Structure 1
């Protein structure tokens, strides 16, 4: 199955897939509300606001697998994201990113190597995967900030390629 055809569930219970964002640059991020990295929401939202009108979106996937740092309900998560960080990007339903019951999207994403050539398990909250319109996927570990020049360069390259197509 193509990564774009994997069914997703929005935080409100709707259906989606990466195919809905076929001509866009998409950043897939596993998020959590009670993590030391939670302030990355601010930078994720800044990217959404800066590049959203050019064909970029963040997709946040709440995950409670790392030290139970996302224990809330869908309503709790939406309220926290909206009230604390003004999040406007789409949030999906809570998922598992590792283990036997991990979401099929993460089964595929974890096959992608990071900058050091390592594949496999998501290390922690806020691991980022950039999915470009041509299907290329790039992986950035949790400590890499959303506005890191390496990430911004990939976003801009993807947007330029999409605009030229």
Structure 2
């Protein structure tokens, strides 16, 4: 497994699948992404003081609509963009619950770019580049859709409304 927070000096082989990774949950406990094998995963770097924060509403709606069919949404709070996620995990969790009724998993706050970049994001970005082939995450609420077999299917900009991903999510849920 590839643990979150491993530094660049770690020369372990690259993971073959999203399910080869680990990350810390909001209580700082290691979670194996292999726990989600066979599920369609939507990974989003989130922030509670961002112009895109209202996307939490659509993310939760997608989660409620498709969770029983195998969709998991995983939110990774990140404070790298305009310091728009300054709170503690308890504050973030409370904000998401009170304002948007978020029930999908929130992980520990991470970096998605730079020397302290979480290995989950290193993997996601290596699998799907953004606009013009750039790999760097540009802002909060960038989204990655991962298929049931751990392959990164798509990458979507912050400006992409979560509800517009429904067709791609259904396609992956219906694929055996």
Bucket of the pairwise TM-score, normalised by the shorter protein: over 0.9
2:75 is matched with which residue: 60, 78, 81?
A: 60
Tell me the equivalent position of 2:105.
90
- The alignment partner of 2:167 has SS state of helix
- The alignment partner of 1:147 has SS state of helix
- Pairing 1:17–2:17 present: no
Query: In the TM superposition, what is the alpha-carbon distance from 1:91 to its structure 2 partner?
Result: 0.3
Query: In the TM superposition, what is the alpha-carbon distance from 1:4 to its structure 2 partner?
Result: 1.4
- TM-score scaled by length of structure 2: 0.87
- The alignment partner of 1:16 has SS state of strand
Query: In the TM superposition, what is the alpha-carbon distance from 1:117 to its structure 2 partner?
Result: 5.4
State the distance in 2 between where 1:94 and 1:11 align: 8
- Pairing 1:156–2:157 present: no
2:161 is matched with which residue: 116, 122, 145?
A: 145
- Pairing 1:121–2:140 present: no
Q: Residue by residue, what CA displacement relative to the aligned partner does 1:38-69 show, whole Å, maximum 9, x if unpaired?
A: 00000000000000010001100000000000
Tell me the equivalent position of 2:8.
none
Q: Residue by residue, what CA displacement relative to the aligned partner does 1:86-140 show, whole Å, maximum 9, x if unpaired?
A: 00000000000001110011111112124x4524100100000000012331100
- Pairing 1:34–2:68 present: no
- The alignment partner of 1:26 has SS state of strand
Query: In the TM superposition, what is the alpha-carbon distance from 1:12 to its structure 2 partner?
Result: 1.5
Query: In the TM superposition, what is the alpha-carbon distance from 1:17 to its structure 2 partner?
Result: 2.5
Structure 2 stretches of 5 or more lacking a match? Answer: 1-14
- Count of residue pairs the alignment pairs up: 159
